[in-house]
Amino acid sequence: MIHFHIPTHAQIRDNDKALLGVAAPSRVRPYLTLWKDERSTPLLPLPEIAIDTQVASIVIKDEGQRLGLGSFKALGGAYAVMTLFKGLLETHLGDEVSPAQLLSPTARDFAAGMTFCCATDGNHGKSVAAGARILGCRSVIFVHEGVTEARSDTIGADEVIRVKGNYDVSVDEAERVSKERGWLLVSDTSWEGYEEIPSLVAQGYTILAQEALEQISKLKIDPPTHVFLQAGVGGFASSISLHLSETLGHENIRTIIVEPDRAACLFASAQAGTLTSFKPTEPTIMAMLECYTPSLVAWRILNASASAFVTVTEDQAKDAMRMLAFRDQPVVSGESGAAGLAGYLAVARDPDARQKLGLDRNSRILVINTEGATDPATYEAIVGLAPTAVVQQAAIN
């Protein structure tokens, strides 16, 4: 399904622009030094898909290789943890500290008594746990009953607490327990009275948008005219949408939001014209997007910046995964990772949608593989090859 939307860029708040606009990546980048890995993730042209769908170009940013954690989320939660820790340490010391000083013996002593927590479908929790681990803090991650053991086992937290119910229930439980025990909650979704920390998480994601534009320029391709962004609560999508709009000019790029049809809370909100929860029916394989209530900040931004909201089926996501796996330069893309491409293909094959979104032979498309094979067994069942076998194909080619 497609809901066409009229963006109202003038309604985007100045503080949202300041957090996610042109200068945002420069605020994030110093913290990447704490990872000891500042490499950009690959950006690959998809010429065969561009020809088939009759556009000038389509490129995919492969976040499955980000910081060894397998998804773009590595940039957000860890950055928020580091930023929050820096502020608390400065208050404790009564003096400013640099990102590099967050690894000093003094900082380590301070970190020993601190616990960070969050709820997650998998990837955000990995990032929060990694950020805490780098600093020497403790981490506790809440997962709902739909998170597979394979995903929860790779989170890397000091403690993982499984909650009965869906993602929204785990968010509520993480908030409740964090208040009760004095833990620092680093959620990637926002609600009334809780906006600052999710906005920091979203700020971390702007790094990948900046990288993508730099890599596109190096390929001698003009900037994208359309970007297809998968969404759960919407933090990632709102970050990339606003950053690209501020950098390229909102009149030069259209944002299309893609969600599973079984968890389309932003689609429902766009249809209703106000933030709306989605009533779940059955789980989706796009587990990292299985969210039923939008982030308050994300909805505010996407309501003002998105040109359309699209839903995709389970089969469409699977087809996009296979399409990326079986090509000359294979991309290992998990179920949620391939959703953006699935959304693009759905729109590209719809003549009415093409016309309304200005999709033609001059269009330049950006999609993002937001995750690799976060559950290798599920990936193999869908694609027919293990992730390692797909990577070996790339080496042979």
Sequence-ordered list of residues with C-beta below 8 angstroms from that of 369, at least 6 positions apart, any chain: 60, 61, 62, 63, 64, 324, 331, 333, 337, 338, 340, 341
Segment 282-289 mean pLDDT: 93
As given in the structure block, the two tokens for residue 90 are 């400065």
Please state, in angstroms and rounded to a whole number, the distance separating the CA atoms of residues 386 and 374.
12
In CATH, what is the architecture of 77-187? 3-Layer(aba) Sandwich (3.40)
What is the β-pairing status of strands 57-62 and 43-45?
antiparallel
328 DSSP assignment: S
What letters, b where the CB count within 10 A reaches 16 and e where it falls short, cover 312-338? bbbebbbbbbebbbebeebbbbbbbbb
2-70+205-396 and 77-187: same fold? yes
Point out the residues that are catalytic.
Answer: 73, 121
Fold entry, domain 2-70+205-396: Rossmann fold (3.40.50)
What is the β-pairing status of strands 254-260 and 306-312?
parallel
- pLDDT above 90 for 14: yes
**pLDDT tens per residue, range 291-345:** 999 999 999 999 999 999 999 999 999 999 999 999 989 999 999 999 999 999 9
Best CA proximity match to 131, nearest among 196, 64, 179, 86: 86
3-state class of 219 per DSSP? coil
**pLDDT tens per residue, range 124-182:** 999 999 999 999 999 999 999 989 898 899 899 999 999 999 999 999 999 999 999 99
Interior angle at CA 170, CA 168 and CA 174, nearest 5: 120
Please state, in angstroms and rounded to a whole number, the distance separating the CA atoms of residues 139 and 134.
11
Indicate left, alpha or beta for 146 from its phi (over 0: left) and psi (-120 to 50: alpha): alpha
- pLDDT above 70 for 397: no
Q: Strands, E, within the chain: which ranges?
A: 2-4, 43-45, 57-62, 115-120, 138-144, 159-163, 184-185, 226-230, 254-260, 306-312, 364-369
pLDDT score recorded for residue 394: 63
Sequence-ordered list of residues with C-beta below 8 angstroms from that of 115, at least 6 positions apart, any chain: 132, 137, 138, 139, 140, 181, 182, 183, 184
Contact in structure between 142 and 170 (CB atoms under 8 Å) = yes
Residue 365's beta-bridge partner residues? 58, 226
Residue 371's beta-bridge partner residues? 71
Helix axis angle, 123-135 to 77-93, nearest 10°: 30
Please state, in angstroms and rounded to a whole number, the distance separating the CA atoms of residues 384 and 310.
27
164 DSSP assignment: S
What is the β-pairing status of strands 115-120 and 138-144?
parallel
Looking at every residue in the chain, the average pLDDT score rounds to: 94
Please state, in angstroms and rounded to a whole number, the distance separating the CA atoms of residues 337 and 64.
8
Q: Where do the domains of the chain lie?
A: 2-70+205-396, 77-187
**pLDDT tens per residue, range 189-203:** 999 999 999 999 999
- pLDDT above 80 for 268: yes
- pLDDT above 70 for 285: yes
Going from the C-alpha of 213 to that of each of 9, 122, 162, the distances in angstroms are: 21, 28, 39
Walk across the sheet containing 184-185 and list its strands: 159-163, 138-144, 115-120, 184-185
